[in-house]
Amino acid sequence: MLPTNLTVDDVSYEQLAGAIDHSLLRPQLTLSEVVDGCALAARYQVVSVCVRPADVALAAKELAGAGVSVGTVVSFPHGDSATSTKVHEASRAMEDGAVELDMVMNIGLLLSGEYERVQDDIAAVVDTAAGAAIVKVILENAYLTDDQKVVACGLVEAAGADYVKTSTGFAPTGATIEDLRLMRASVGPNMKVKAAHGVRTLDALLAVMEAGADRCGATATAPILDDYRSRVTG
């Protein structure tokens, strides 16, 4: 991460917590760890949790009335499910209580130049969400050139999604300041940008926010927000 001009004096706790999607996606997480993660999200009042699809109903139960949204992933982490499968995943997730969907773009189709199919694939999930869930589309920038990232951002926006997102956390690299600036510049003002993979400190979170990220996926939620509190009070 590059140095940031944004400091703790420039943001409130609510702004920081409101930018964090607490990530509970590691395959080895036990159900008790998912419950603990939901409790942490509620305690720190982050904007959402992002859980594995099978954990959505559990998270919705644990977070009922807590003011923390429940999100999940669609076609994760490779994005290569059939469109009908993505639609089914999205529908089932919303039935279980998800109000945010982080879907993975079909990376192979993009790299094949099948842009219309990529856009239609995203639009099908957007149509399924139909205002009942926010749709974030993961580009997986590790596999794309800058030109391809720009094209992908345009397809995501044209498909009607709410966010473009950098990464799954399962590719060789994740969010970079350069990518976030490029993505922010490649979409209109109504589109939002999410950083994921590699934002593990308060300074890193401030840096990605300054670069244009509206949300950030994080597993180091407690250390980040504890650091903020200690700097503000210390």
Domain edges within the chain: 8-233
Encoded tokens for 184: 């922010």
Q: Are 119 and 161 in contact (CB under 8 A)?
A: no
Q: Is 149 a catalytic residue?
A: no
Q: 3-class SS at 171?
A: coil
DSSP 133: S
Encoded tokens for 19: 């930018």
Instruction: Please give the average pLDDT of every successive group of 10 residues along the chain, which has 234 residues.
Output: 74 97 98 98 98 98 98 98 98 98 98 98 98 97 98 98 97 97 98 97 97 98 98 87
With b for 16 or more beta-carbon neighbours within 10 A and e for fewer, the 39-53 pattern comes to ebbbebebbbbbbbb
Q: Is 192 a catalytic residue?
A: no
> Given this model, what pLDDT does residue 2 score?
44
> Given this model, what pLDDT does residue 191 score?
98
> Given this model, what pLDDT does residue 194 score?
98
Catalytic pick among 21, 102, 121, 162: 102
Separation of alpha carbons 231 and 234, rounded Å: 5
Q: Is 194 a catalytic residue?
A: yes
> Given this model, what pLDDT does residue 4 score?
61
> In terms of CATH architecture, what is 8-233?
Alpha-Beta Barrel (3.20)
Separation of alpha carbons 56 and 58, rounded Å: 5
> Given this model, what pLDDT does residue 215 score?
98
Q: Report pTM.
A: 0.96
> Given this model, what pLDDT does residue 3 score?
47
Kindly state the helix (H) or strand (E) to which residue 94 belongs, with its residue range. Answer: helix 83-96
Catalytic pick among 162, 165, 179, 192: 165
> Given this model, what pLDDT does residue 55 score?
98
